[in-house]
Structure 1
Amino acid sequence: MRQSIGLTFGATALATLLLSGVVQAGDDVTEVEMRDYEYHPAELEVTAGATVRWVNAEKRTSHDVYFADEDQGSERLFPGESWERTFDEPGTYSYHCRPHENRDMEGVITVVPAE
């Protein structure tokens, strides 16, 4: 009986994290899901030195992560694939999905100095 309660609690906690769109995946790695033609969360604040991992959680659609101000980003990510970037400098980093610009698929990473 205890094992079943523990699994239920664990599944509930994981579901809560996934629904919030942010899952801490280790030391200074934060995940952003790409689903329903949106980034979840669309706005994120991290400290300098943190890594963000974008994960395509769609069933059939590919997306990318493109930083137009820097002319750099990921290749197309198919369902289940991911891409990471480490943010060393404080600042505001806007990005979007090139294949789905017409859907306003956009996000912002705000990097604050590490204390």
Structure 2
Amino acid sequence: MNKRYRRPNMILLIAALLSGAVQAADAVVEVEMRDYGFHPAELEVEAGTTVRWVNAEKRTSHDVYFADEDLGSPRLFPEEYWERTFDEPGTYPYHCRPHERRDMEGVITVVPTE
């Protein structure tokens, strides 16, 4: 399910950014878009996990685009976010189309649920 919303609770964002381990299925993990980068840029999650990209910039819009699948978010303006649930194990590289030249890239690695 892909959604576009306003900025979520800051506590959830901080918790997601501080955890570097594999995230459990049915969890929501956040990736912050700031300083023309995805933070964290590499993330490993279990199948069934939802990843939420949050635009934390003050003036710049970004998007999230999976070129291998021709799938992506609309432009996200400050404090907006977009979600994607990853049900299948695999490697999912993505980038920001407006900022490709700045190497604004990331990758989600989805592992089977234990």
The two structures have a TM-score, normalised by structure 1, of 0.79
Listed as ranges, the gaps of 5+ residues in structure 1 are: 1-13
Are positions 1:45 and 2:44 aligned together? yes
Whether the aligned pair in 1 keeps the contact of 2:16 and 2:29 (CA below 8 Å) is no
The 5 Å alignment of 1:18-57 reads 18=14, 21-22=17-18, 27-57=26-56
Give the AA of the match of 2:66.
F
The 5 Å alignment of 1:1-115 reads 18=14, 21-22=17-18, 27-115=26-114
Q: Distance in 1 between matches of 2:112 and 2:66?
A: 20
Q: C-alpha deviations, 1:71-95, integer Å up to 9, x for none?
A: 0110000000000000000000000
Runs (4 or more) in structure 1 with deviation over 2 Å come to 17-24
Shift in Å, 1:22: 4.9
Corresponding residue SS for 2:14 = helix
Rg bigger for which structure?
Answer: 1
Q: Distance in 2 between matches of 1:18 and 1:85?
A: 19
The two structures have a TM-score, normalised by structure 2, of 0.80
The number of equivalent residue pairs is: 98
Shift in Å, 1:18: 3.4
**CA pair 30-22 structure 1, distance change in 2 beyond 3 A:** farther
Q: Distance in 1 between matches of 2:96 and 2:110?
A: 20
Give the AA of the match of 2:14.
L
Identity across matched positions, percent: 80
Shift in Å, 1:19: 9.5
Query: Higher relative contact order by CA 8 Å / sep ≥ 6: 1 or 2?
Result: 2
Q: Distance in 1 between matches of 2:61 and 2:102?
A: 14
RMSD: 2.0
